[in-house]
C-alpha cells in the first residue's frame, strides 16, 4: 500500500471511531438514563437549585467529586478489561459497595442493564455474556461498568471513552434540568460549553487507580434519599 493509501486508511479509521463515539454518546441512544435526575428533582423542589448559575454549580461539583473520582476511573478500568468478564464482576461489586444511596445504586443498575440490553441486541462482543452473568447473580450491571464494557468492545479508544463518559454524565443532568424547567436549551448549551474546559483539564491528568476510587457528594446523596419519600416524582431519583 502506498503512503496515500495508508493515510486514507488511518483517516478512515479515525472517522469511524468518531462516528461510533457520536452514536453511542448521543442522548438519542436508548440507554435508560433519561429517567434519572441524580437528586436534581428534590433540589429543585426545595428551591436549592433555581437558576442557570445554581445548575452550573451543581454540575461542576458533581464532575469534580463524583465523575472525576469515581465514574471516570471505573469506566477506564472496565474498558481496559472489557474482554475479561470475571474482572468486570469485581469492578461491578466495588461500585455497588461504594455507592451509598440506594436510589443512586438502583438508578445506576437500571441504566446499565438498559444499555447492556441494547448492546446485546446489537451483538456487541461480550454484551450478552455479561447479561447472562447478571441473570445468574454473578454481576450487578452498574452503568459505568457497562459503559466501559460495551464502549471498549465496539473499538473506541480510551481517550474517546473518557470523553464520552463525561459527556453522557453532563447531558443526563442538563437534560433533567431542562425537563424540570430550571434552564432553557440555549443556557444549557452555554453551561455545557463552559464545563468543557474543566473536563478537558481533568482528562489531561492520569485517571485515579481503582484502589483510589471514591465519591463525596453529600448534597446529592441526601437529595436522592429524600426523593424516595417525595409525593410527586417525574424521575426515578
In whole angstroms, what separates CA 87 from the centre of its chain? 20
Average pLDDT, whole number, for the chain? 89
Confidence of residue 183 (pLDDT cuts 50, 70, 90): very high
Q: Which range (30-44, 97-111, 145-159) has the least confidence?
A: 30-44
Task: List, for residues 26-48, the tens digit of each pLDDT value.
Answer: 877 887 666 778 888 889 888 99
Q: Reply yes or no on whether the pLDDT at 148 is more than 60.
A: yes
Q: Of all residues in the chain, what percent carry a pLDDT higher than 70? A: 89
Per-position DSSP letters for the chain, written without gaps between them: --HHHHHHHHHHHHHHHHHHHHHHHSTTS--SGGG--TTHHHHHHTTSS-SHHHHHHHHHHHIIIIIIIIIHHHHHHHHHTTT-HHHHHHHHHHHHHH--SHHHHHHHHHHHHHHHHHHHHTT-TTHHHHHHHHHTTS----HHHHHHHHHHHTT--HHHHHHHHHHHHHHHHHHHHHHTTSS-HHHHHHHHHHHHHHHHHHHTSPPPPGGG-----HHHHHHHHHHTT-SS-SS--
pLDDT grade, residue 53 (50/70/90)? very high
Give the predicted TM-score (pTM) of the model.
0.90
Return the CATH class of domain 35-227. Answer: mainly alpha
Q: For residue 230, what pLDDT band results from cuts at 50, 70 and 90?
A: low
Nearest residue to 79 (alpha-carbon basis) of 153, 178, 184, 185: 153
Taking CA atoms, 100 is separated from 24, 57, 63, 94, 226, in Å, by: 28, 22, 18, 12, 14
**Alpha-carbon radius of gyration of the chain:** 18
In this prediction, residue 167 carries a pLDDT of 95
Across 26-30, 89-93, 204-208, least confident range: 26-30
Written as nine digits, the cell of 40 is: 436534581
Categorize the per-residue pLDDT at 1 as very low, low, confident or very high, splitting at 50, 70 and 90: very low
User: How many angstroms separate the CA atoms of 175 and 186, rounded?
Assistant: 12
Cα–Cα dist 5/3, whole Å: 5
User: If pLDDT is split at 50, 70 and 90, which confidence band does 222 have?
Assistant: confident
Largest CA distance in the chain: 67
Amino acid at each position: 500500500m502506498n503512503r496515500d493509501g495508508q493515510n486514507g486508511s488511518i483517516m478512515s479509521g479515525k472517522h469511524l471511531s468518531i462516528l461510533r463515539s457520536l452514536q453511542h454518546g448521543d442522548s438519542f441512544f436508548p440507554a435508560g438514563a433519561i429517567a434519572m435526575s441524580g437528586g436534581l428533582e428534590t433540589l429543585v423542589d426545595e428551591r436549592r437549585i433555581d437558576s442557570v448559575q445554581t445548575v452550573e454549580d451543581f454540575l461542576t461539583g458533581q464532575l469534580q467529586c463524583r465523575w472525576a473520582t469515581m465514574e471516570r476511573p471505573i469506566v477506564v478500568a472496565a474498558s481496559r478489561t472489557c474482554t475479561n468478564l470475571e474482572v468486570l464482576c469485581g469492578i461491578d461489586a466495588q461500585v455497588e459497595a461504594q455507592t451509598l444511596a440506594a436510589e443512586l445504586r438502583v438508578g445506576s443498575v437500571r441504566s446499565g442493564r438498559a444499555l447492556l440490553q441494547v448492546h446485546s441486541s446489537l451483538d456487541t462482543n461480550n454484551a450478552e455474556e455479561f447479561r447472562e452473568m447478571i441473570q445468574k447473580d454473578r454481576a450487578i450491571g452498574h452503568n459505568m461498568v457497562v459503559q466501559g464494557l460495551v464502549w471498549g468492545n465496539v473499538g473506541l479508544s480510551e481517550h474517546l471513552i473518557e470523553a464520552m463518559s463525561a459527556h453522557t454524565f453532563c447531558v443526563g443532568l442538563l437534560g433533567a434540568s431542562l425537563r424540570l424547567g430550571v434552564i432553557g436549551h440555549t443556557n444549557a448549551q452555554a453551561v455545557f460549553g463552559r464545563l468543557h474546559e474543566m473536563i478537558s483539564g481533568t482528562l489531561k491528568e492520569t485517571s485515579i487507580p481503582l484502589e483510589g476510587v471514591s465519591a463525596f457528594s453529600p448534597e446529592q446523596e441526601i437529595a436522592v434519599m429524600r426523593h424516595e419519600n417525595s409525593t410527586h416524582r417525574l424521575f426515578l431519583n
